[in-house]
């Protein structure tokens, strides 16, 4: 039994070892100058490039970490597929820049080779030092939270190294053109305490200065920038290039300001999750700092001066390096002259405004609740009966005579008159003048409207007592006291049809008669 178990275990171990050896044998191998490496793991890819982790080996056996730039015998291998003239130019740009500019804070090109994999397909191999991660990995870790990707101290430590590398690249005659968190690599130093940073991806490099002489060249610059730069980090002069200008390394300075902003707030100043790239804000140079994130006024001032719309007024790398160095030493880099508000004061101000807004909202809500409470039970009783009293207005009867709707008021006046008398027999002086609000309510009657109106004066005052005329107002009353006028009664058939039957009229002998 023991023999059988031992045999089974030995068989399993042998099978596992054989399988592992088979995998090792099947792993792609590359000869790049005097380096012999084997692919260990896939790391990343983008565009037409693939990045893998490789380790050095000799005759298929992993070798010791004996090479400078290796991390425990491992490297980063960047494979770039070349199928067009543009792709070949990009490879040449990166290799040229890496070979001409040597700096601690720029990735080092350890070896380079090209191999043909198909009749019309070539593969470029760039062997580079292996770093732990890119800054974008740290930003993605806290994306969507209030936690900053880096403390201000660590941010300045990394930013200073990246700025030194970018300044060396500019001094070597190149613009990077694609500064962003993905293209800044970091790793733990050999002492295990500090962090090392370096710029990478120099495939979009171009001459540090480019003179634009006309509109055609300006459009060419814009089109080139669309395919070689990242939109949220692109400088305004690459969105709208003047017909006569010089495009310089200040475009990288703008991108570096966006990089610092993203390292502090996990997002670029001109991008957000809902609206994407805010192109109009880039053209205007408009952005705002998030309030209450714990970054100093010096940091905000540095970002503000890097994100100045005018390239001639924009800060350069030498100024940036000097400012960061002074901040790290505890000195005042701007000697008290700032163009941005103090973030601490802004945070306190925002807190006060939020508190005041909450108090106002609570007061309004309490007032609304009180009003709603007062309205409880309102309208629960039976609805009030609507008044049937007709509106006071004038109309025309069937014969074209004015018939004022004042029947109810006249009837009340008649009821109050002494017995045997009629309202029509009383003179205007014997009746109480109506109030001004009921100015038209006490017209007794109207004359024949067929009278020639051309004889009437402009103030509508007619001679008193004439048939077919309105009595002339007296005294200073606005409406005056109107006298009763002689009036021809309507024919009987009209009286029967008249809807205003509540009015008292006077017949030809002067006697009162009741209509309808």
Q: What is the pLDDT of residue 118?
A: 83
Question: Where along the chain do the CATH 3.30.200.20 domains lie?
Answer: 26-130
3-state secondary structure of 247: strand
User: What pLDDT is stored for residue 326 in this prediction?
Assistant: 96
SS3 74: strand
pLDDT at 268 over 80: yes
- Name which residue leads in pLDDT, 194 or 442: 194
**What does the pLDDT look like over 325-340, one tens digit per residue?**
999 999 999 988 888 8
Say what the pLDDT of residue 514 is.
Answer: 47
**Residue 424: predicted pLDDT:** 45
**What one-character-per-residue DSSP string does 345-396 give?**
HHHHHHHHHHHHHHHHHHHHHHHHHHHHHHTTTTT-SPPPPPP-PPP--EEE
Mean pLDDT of 121-130: 94
Q: Would you tell me which CATH number, out of the four given (3.50.50.60, 3.20.20.410, 3.30.200.20, 3.40.50.1950), belongs to the domain 26-130? A: 3.30.200.20
Q: Which residues contact 39 (CB under 8 A, 6 or more apart)?
A: 27, 28, 29, 30, 52, 53, 54, 77
Reported confidence tier of residue 348, pLDDT bands at 50, 70, 90? low
Share above pLDDT 90 across residues of the chain, in percent, rounded to a whole number: 46
SS3 147: coil
Quote the pLDDT of residue 192.
80
Domain with CATH 1.10.510.10 in the chain: 133-338
Cite the DSSP H helix spans in 427-470: none
Highest CATH level, class, for 133-338: mainly alpha
Q: Which of 293, 258, 292 is nearest to 277 (CA)?
A: 258
Taking only the tens place, the pLDDT of each residue in 437-460 is: 444 444 444 444 444 444 444 444
Q: pLDDT tens across 387-419, in order?
A: 555 555 555 555 555 555 555 556 665 566 555
Average pLDDT score over residue span 161-175: 98
Cβ-contact 179, 257 below 8 angstroms: no
* Ramachandran assignment for 265, one of left (phi > 0), alpha (psi -120 to 50 degrees), beta (any other): alpha
Band the pLDDT of 69: cuts 50, 70, 90: low
Report for 23-32, 161-170, 400-409: range of highest mean pLDDT: 161-170
Distances (CA, A) of 147 to 156, 265, 326: 17, 8, 26
| Range in 26-30, 275-279, 292-296, 401-405 the model is least confident about | 401-405
Model confidence at 277, in pLDDT bands (50, 70, 90)? confident
**pLDDT class for 138, splitting at 50, 70, 90?**
very high
Residue with tokens 């009437």: 456
Q: Where is 255: in which H helix or E strand? A: helix 250-265
Q: What pLDDT score does 204 carry? A: 94
Mean pLDDT of the region 54-80:
72
Give yes or no for a contact between 263 and 149, defined as CB atoms under 8 angstroms apart.
Answer: yes
The reported pLDDT for the residue numbered 477 is 47
352-372 pLDDT, tens digit per residue, is: 777 888 889 999 998 888 888
- What pTM value is reported for the model? 0.64
Lowest-pLDDT choice from 134-148, 173-187, 408-422: 408-422
Look at 17 and 76; give whichever has higher pLDDT: 76
Decide which of 480 and 29 is more confident: 29
Question: Which residues, at least 6 apart from 95, have a Cβ–Cβ distance to it below 8 Å?
Answer: 109, 112, 124, 126
Average pLDDT over residues 61-75: 63
Q: How many angstroms separate the CA atoms of 371 and 369, rounded?
A: 5
> Which one has a higher pLDDT value, 424 or 166?
166
């Amino acid at each position: 039994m023991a023999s059988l178990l031992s045999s089974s275990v030995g068989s399993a171990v042998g099978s596992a070892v054989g399988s592992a050896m088979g995998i090792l044998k099947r792993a792609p191998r590359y000869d790049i100058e005097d380096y012999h490496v084997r692919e260990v793991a896939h790391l990343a890819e983008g565009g037409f490039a693939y990045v893998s982790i490789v380790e050095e080996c000799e005759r298929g056996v992993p070798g010791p970490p004996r090479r400078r730039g290796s991390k425990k015998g491992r490297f980063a291998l960047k494979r770039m597929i070349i199928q067009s003239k543009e792709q070949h130019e990009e490879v040449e740009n990166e290799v040229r820049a890496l070979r001409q500019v040597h700096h601690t804070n720029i990735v080092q090109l350890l070896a380079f080779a090209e191999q043909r994999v198909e009749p019309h397909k070539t593969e470029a191999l760039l062997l580079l030092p292996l770093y732990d991660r890119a800054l974008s990995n740290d930003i993605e870790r806290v994306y969507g939270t209030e936690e900053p990707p880096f403390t201000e101290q660590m941010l300045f430590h990394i930013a200073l190294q990246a700025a030194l590398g970018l300044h060396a690249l500019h001094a070597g005659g190149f613009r990077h053109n694609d500064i962003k968190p993905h293209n800044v690599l970091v790793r733990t130093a050999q002492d295990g305490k500090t962090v090392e940073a370096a710029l990478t991806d120099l495939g979009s490099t171009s001459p540090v200065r480019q003179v634009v002489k006309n509109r055609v060249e300006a459009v060419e610059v814009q089109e080139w920038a669309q395919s070689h730069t990242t939109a949220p980090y692109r400088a305004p002069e690459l969105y709208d290039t003047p017909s006569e200008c010089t495009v310089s390394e200040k475009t990288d300075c703008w991108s570096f300001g966006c990089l610092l902003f993203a390292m502090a707030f996990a997002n670029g100043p001109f991008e957000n999750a809902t609206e994407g790239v805010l192109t109009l804000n880039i053209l205007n140079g408009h952005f705002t700092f998030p309030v209450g994130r714990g970054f100093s006024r010096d940091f905000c001032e540095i970002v503000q001066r890097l994100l100045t719309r005018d390239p001639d007024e924009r800060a350069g790398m030498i100024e940036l390096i000097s400012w960061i160095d002074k901040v790290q030493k505890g000195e005042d880099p701007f000697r008290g002259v700032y163009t941005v508000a103090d973030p601490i004061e802004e945070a306190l101000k925002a807190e006060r405004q939020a508190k005041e807004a909450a108090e106002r909202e609570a007061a309004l809500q309490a007032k609304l609740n009180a009003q709603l409470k007062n309205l409880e039970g309102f309208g629960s009783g039976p609805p009030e009966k609507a008044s049937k009293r007709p509106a006071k207005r004038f109309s025309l009867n069937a014969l074209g005579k004015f018939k004022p709707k004042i029947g109810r008021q006249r009837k009340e006046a008649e009821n109050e008159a002494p017995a045997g008398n009629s309202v029509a027999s009383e003179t205007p002086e014997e009746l109480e003048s109506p109030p001004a609000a009921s100015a038209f309510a006490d017209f007794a009657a109207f004359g024949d409207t067929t009278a020639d109106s051309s004889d009437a004066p402009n103030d509508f005052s007619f001679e008193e007592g004439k048939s077919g005329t309105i009595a002339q107002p007296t005294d200073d009353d606005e409406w005056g006291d109107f006298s009763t006028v002689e009036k021809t009664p309507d024919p009987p058939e009209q009286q029967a049809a008249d809807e205003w039957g509540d009015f008292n009229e006077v017949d030809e002998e002067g006697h009162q008669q009741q209509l309808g």
